[in-house]
Chain A
Amino acid sequence: MSVRRPTAADRSALIERLGGARAVDQASHRAHVSEEGAEQGVALWIEPGPGGEPYLGTVKAAPENRKLFYQLIEACARDAFERGYARASFTVRDHRLLSRIQRDFQVEPQAIGWDAGSGEPVEWDVLVDLEDALGQLRRVIDA
């Protein structure tokens, strides 16, 4: 299974999968879809405005298809890297997902949000070097 940039033929499926046309029509939003189409999987990264860094917006793939999940992320990372960015970030709001990411990758999440009652971290920003991330992603996908 591979991942590609969407074509005009993917538009309807892409809009349906992402819930609206905004992500398709904004030039700063760059989607990647499964070779079989957006129904199988889609990921979106956001090209930053001044001062920002590329941001992984969303990844949608069947939970059991971890390989496709990471291939979609890899496609976004490669696209950002080829467009001249050295670093990118994404946000995690699920501790279990964070643990899974930390099992598969060497990353350094930074707590940026806390539970207002307990003070425990509940939101993390993960800033990655894209070249390093691409290497790590390839090893996990090939494993």
Chain B
Amino acid sequence: MPELTVQPAKDSYLSAVAKDTNYGAGQFALVRVVYAGDLKLAWERAIGNFDVSVLAGATIESAKLVRHVWSLPGGGGHDAIISRCTRPADWVENQVTWNKYRTGANWTAAGGDFDDAVPGAITYSEPTSTGDHEVPGLKPHVEDALANRSGIVSLLIRLADEDPDVDQGAGWRTKEYGADVWRLTIDYTLPPDAGRRSLSGSRHHRAPAVRPGSPVRPAAGTRPATAQRPSVRRPR
């Protein structure tokens, strides 16, 4: 069965302790709460858009979110929720914050607008060790995106309990990291009448090759350019 891997077209995280700070050029996404006494040192939600429009007309068999988890404050094992962000086209990667989806435009609800009903939110357990972690069950999100959202799967991820009283969280690699980028992996079939149609003829671009030894962090004070086009690995 053909499989399509789609890296995020844009990704970032939102911080409730720095509500007007943008993290769009960062190399990691975070969903966590870390305490120091009553103060939350960190409280973050992750956001990302995945363009699956190349699959228009295909039958989606399954879809999963794959993240390379590099850090688990509190040890992992806690629950988190994947919801559909309701402003997929509006939020701007190098402007989005906890308060605003772009400069001058507030989210309806601080922390990002999302819908847990259509498609239904996915609750999953974070792993207890680092490495690739898969969250299955995103087929409805892909189908919904193709049917109703111009092919954009926009995800907002948060802790199931954002007042857990103990540190909880996970961090994973974004597209800016350049390797082990989080991604949607979709199994699909094409309709019998698709003829010679091939996804390789799509407008999408192959994922950039990873350069060994590429810097893990951007140079101090710089804001790396962020690509706006999705990186799509063609079906195997």
A49 on the B face (CB < 8 A): yes
Residue B221 CB within 8 A of the other chain: yes
- Contacts A93-B18, A124-B220 known; list 17 others, CB within 8 Å: A23-B35, A48-B71, A49-B72, A49-B73, A50-B72, A50-B76, A57-B36, A58-B37, A58-B41, A111-B218, A111-B221, A115-B20, A116-B100, A117-B103, A119-B94, A121-B221, A121-B223
Asked if A58 meets B36 with Cβ closer than 8 Å, knowing A51-B130, A119-B223, the reply is yes
Q: Is the interface of B mostly helix, strand, loop or mixed?
A: loop
Q: In the complex, which residues of chain A have a beta carbon less than 8 angstroms from the beta carbon of B147?
A: none
Total interface residues on A, using CB and 8 Å? Answer: 39
Q: Which residues of B contact A15 (CB under 8 A)?
A: 37
A20 to B163, CA, bound (A): 14
- Determine whether B121 belongs to the interface, using a CB cutoff of 8 Å to chain A: no
- What chain B residues lie within 8 Å of A124 (beta carbons)? 220
The answer on a CB contact under 8 Å between B74 and A110 is no
A121–B222 Cα distance when bound, in Å, is: 8
Confirm or deny: A99 has a beta carbon within 8 angstroms of a beta carbon on chain B. Answer: no
Q: Is B66 an interface residue (CB 8 A)?
A: no
Which stretch, B21-29, B109-117, B180-188, B201-209, touches the partner chain A? B21-29
* A19 contacts the other chain (CB 8 A): yes
Instruction: Give chain B residues whose Cβ lies under 8 Å from the Cβ of A24.
Output: 37
- Residues of chain B within 8 A (CB-CB) of A23 are 35-37
Contact with B along A13-38 (1 / 0, CB 8 A): 00101111111101011000000000
Q: In the complex, A58 Cα to B41 Cα: how many Å? A: 8
